[in-house]
């Protein structure tokens, strides 16, 4: 399960990874992760659902996510 701190650390790491790739994108967190982050209505969630709003090659985002996950 992913706590609020786990999710925040992962999102910061993802932002850093994208910056290292000279890439920026707008990510909107939805679902259980949004409830954990924004409202504290739950302690944790099993995954992070997100929408990428920027025009960016999805392969770049997948690559950055994979690096953070490793």
pLDDT by position in tens, the chain (length 70)? 999 999 999 999 999 999 999 999 999 999 999 999 999 999 999 999 999 999 999 999 999 999 999 8
CA–CA distance from 16 to each of 11, 27, 68 (Å)?
9, 13, 9
Both structure tokens of 66? 């994979």
Q: How many domains, in total, are found in the chain? A: 1
**DSSP secondary structure string, 1-43?**
-EEHHHHHHHHHHHHHHHHHTT----EEEEHHHHIIIII--SS
CA dist 47 and 33 (Å) reads 7
- The pTM score is 0.91
**Domain residue limits at 40:** 2-69
> How crowded is residue 49: how many other Cβ atoms within 10 Å of its Cβ?
12
Per-residue model confidence (pLDDT) at position 30: 97
């Amino acid at each position: 399960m992913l706590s609020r701190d786990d999710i925040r650390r992962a999102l910061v790491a993802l932002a850093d990874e994208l910056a290292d790739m000279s890439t920026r994108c707008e990510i909107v967190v939805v679902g259980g992760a949004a409830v954990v982050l924004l409202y504290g209505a739950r302690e944790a969630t099993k995954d992070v659902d997100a929408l990428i709003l920027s025009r960016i090659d999805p392969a770049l985002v997948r690559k950055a996510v994979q690096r953070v996950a490793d």
